[in-house]
Copies of this chain bind each other. A is one copy, B any other.
Amino acid sequence: MDGTAGTGGTPRVGEVSAPGRVAGPDEGIGTAELALAARNHGLPLEALRYDTTPPGLHYVLVHYDIPAADAGDWRLTVGGLVRRPLGLGVAELRARPAVTHRVTLECAGNGRARLSPRPVSQPWLVEAVGTADWTGVPLAALLAEAGPADGAVEAVFTGADHGVERGTEQDYRRSLPLPHAADPDRGVLVAYAMNGAPLPPQHGHPLRLVVPGWYGMASVKWLRDVTLTATPFTGFQQAVAYRYRQGPDEPGAPVDVIAPRALMIPPGFPDFMSRTRVVHPGPVPLAGRAWSGHAPVTRVELSTDGERSWTDAEVTADPERPWAWAGWRTSWTAAPGAHLLTVRATDAAGHTQPLTAPWNRGGFGNNLVQRVEVLCVT
């Protein structure tokens, strides 16, 4: 780029994007992936200690820019195939009966950077997760108020963040099947508060969707419109991105429900650069969290011998909070030397974390077990 206008014809917006690709066999993280990693962030694993994650520690993934938003003049519209279109300010939503759900959200791309070959996108390792108390109005109540008209099959949610992605200029937009969106038991919220405070800018201020049990791409931030449609939504984030595909030309299967994962609070203390953990000989308490969008986590197992044998950890779940992570704890007696700790979760639907990464071209849903290197020193 030389600062002069292009001479080869007028550029179009699609030209700014490169096609999706996977990294070469020896290709390290590049500048574009680093730029994403520097702005977005995961949960520092020691923050698994908090039952609810403070906003600056909860993972954040923003596709475009965080919009400048003023809660005072924000409007949420509900339209399309409804009998009574709605237009609501934040104060009007706050005046309605509120509910609070504790929900664990995880990015669909969590684990992407552990895949080989590595899909080139936001390069998460294992840390793209967080749990918060989200307060707002049940989406089901708003939809009942608007009254779905005959023939409505989906609810399409539009956020205020605007950008280009793989050649398509767009507002961020996703849908849910109407039976899911309108079912009070699914717990979908139009939220205006996180952990009792107004949403921070990066978490959707002033309004966002929260879809319990689904990867974070469904929980549209900076929510400004809900439109009921007669046909399934085929927009970019539904039909192009967020699909499980092996090759670039497959339609792929939709990314939706969160696969089970357990994470450990890394024991001992870290080496700054390698993040390898250091412990001293003797009993080492181990604890962490585990979750699944399919069903409650029923089992968390620990291996301290390179995954030859496993022992069960104690799992503590709150049945009143089915969408929040469970706690787990166990202990290990460390002896001098190098060790590999592995933890894996199983849910009540029979899903267990794999010992080899499930590869797909978008790098979604890689719930490979967590492996923590520990050096026990005297």
* A18 lies within 8 A of B57 (CB): no
Contact with B along A90-128 (1 / 0, CB 8 A): 000000000000000000000001000000110111010
A30 touches B28 (CB 8 A): yes
Q: Which of A56, A58, A68 has the most CB of B within 10 A?
A: A56
- B39 adjacent to A42 (CB under 8 Å): yes
Instruction: Give a binary string over A11-34; 1 marks a CB under 8 Å from any B CB, 0 the rest.
Output: 111011110000000011111111
A141 on interface, CB distance cutoff 8 Å:
no
Residues of B within 8 A of A266 (CB): 65
Partner of A1 from the list B201, B272, B335, B373 (CB cut-off 8 Å) is B373
Q: How far is the CA of A36 from the CA of B269 in the complex (A)?
A: 15
Q: Is the CB of A201 within 8 A of B57?
A: yes
Q: Which residues of B contact A1 (CB under 8 A)?
A: 306, 338-340, 373
Q: Which of A161-169, A180-188, A247-255 contacts B (4 or more CB under 8 A)?
A: A161-169
Centre residue among A121, A202, A373 by max chain B CB count within 10 A? A202
Distance in angstroms between the alpha carbons of A61 and B303 in the assembled complex? 31
**What total of chain A residues lie within 8 Å of the partner, measured CB to CB?**
92
A11 to B32, CA, bound (A): 39
Does A164 contact B269, Cβ atoms closer than 8 Å? yes
A301 CA / B29 CA spacing, docked (Å): 33
Q: For the complex, what is the distance from the CA of A45 to the CA of B35, rounded to whole Å?
A: 11
Q: Does the CB pair A124–B38 fall under 8 Å?
A: yes
A30: B residues at CB distance < 8 A: 28-29
Contact residues, A64-102 vs B (CB, 8 A): 64-66, 68
Q: Smallest CB-CB separation from A126: which chain B residue?
A: B38
Is B164 a contact of A270 with CB atoms below 8 Å?
yes
Decide if A329 is an interface residue (CB 8 Å cutoff).
no
Selecting from A146-154, A207-215, A274-282, A347-355, the interface stretch reads: A274-282
CB closest residue in chain B, given A266: B65
Least CB distance, A205 to chain B, in whole angstroms? 9
A305 at the interface (CB under 8 A from B): yes
B16 near A125 with CB under 8 A, answer: no
Q: Check A40 for interface membership: any CB of B closer than 8 A.
A: yes
Check A3–B339 contact: CB distance below 8 A. yes
Q: Let me know if B127 and A335 touch, CB within 8 A.
A: no
Q: Does A376 count as interface, using CB distance less than 8 angstroms?
A: yes
A-B CB contact pairs (8 Å), 25 listed: A1-B338, A1-B339, A2-B306, A11-B338, A11-B375, A15-B375, A16-B377, A17-B273, A17-B274, A18-B274, A31-B113, A32-B274, A34-B125, A36-B273, A37-B37, A38-B41, A46-B68, A47-B66, A56-B203, A65-B266, A65-B269, A163-B269, A163-B270, A165-B271, A165-B272
Q: List 12 additional contacts besides A17-B273, A35-B125; criterion CB under 8 Å.
A: A3-B303, A5-B376, A15-B375, A17-B271, A29-B30, A31-B113, A37-B37, A40-B41, A44-B65, A54-B201, A162-B269, A163-B269
Residues of A within 8 A of B (CB): 1-7, 10-13, 15-18, 27-42, 44-47, 49-50, 54-58, 60, 62-66, 68, 113, 120-121, 123-125, 127, 162-166, 169, 200-203, 266, 269-276, 278, 303-306, 308, 335-340, 373, 375-378
Instruction: Sort A-B residue pairs by CB-CB distance and give the 10 closest, nearest first.
Output: A28-B28, A5-B337, A41-B41, A6-B337, A29-B29, A56-B56, A3-B306, A165-B272, A3-B305, A37-B37
